[in-house]
């Protein structure tokens, strides 16, 4: 299992990428949104 720092770093990277102007293609934006949510849920579950 990955440690929290690694997961948080990837989550923050994805959040920045999702806001980037280069992520205009709707399918790519949707994929990143789902992945970002999954990482967020993982972080929340580990803190419980």
Backbone φ, ψ for residue 11 (5° rounding): -60, -45
Query: Are 39 and 11 in contact, with CB atoms under 8 Å apart?
Result: yes
Q: 48: which 2 tokens?
A: 């419980």
User: Could you tell me which residue, 48 or 14, shows the higher pLDDT?
Assistant: 14
Q: For the segment 3-41, what is each residue's pLDDT rounded down to a tens digit?
A: 888 888 888 888 887 777 766 777 777 887 888 788 887
Q: What is the pTM of this model?
A: 0.46
């Amino acid at each position: 299992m990955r440690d929290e720092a690694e997961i948080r770093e990837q989550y923050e990277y994805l959040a920045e990428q999702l806001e980037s102007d280069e992520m205009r293609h709707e399918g790519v934006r949707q994929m990143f949104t789902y992945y970002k949510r999954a990482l967020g849920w993982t972080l929340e579950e580990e803190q419980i």
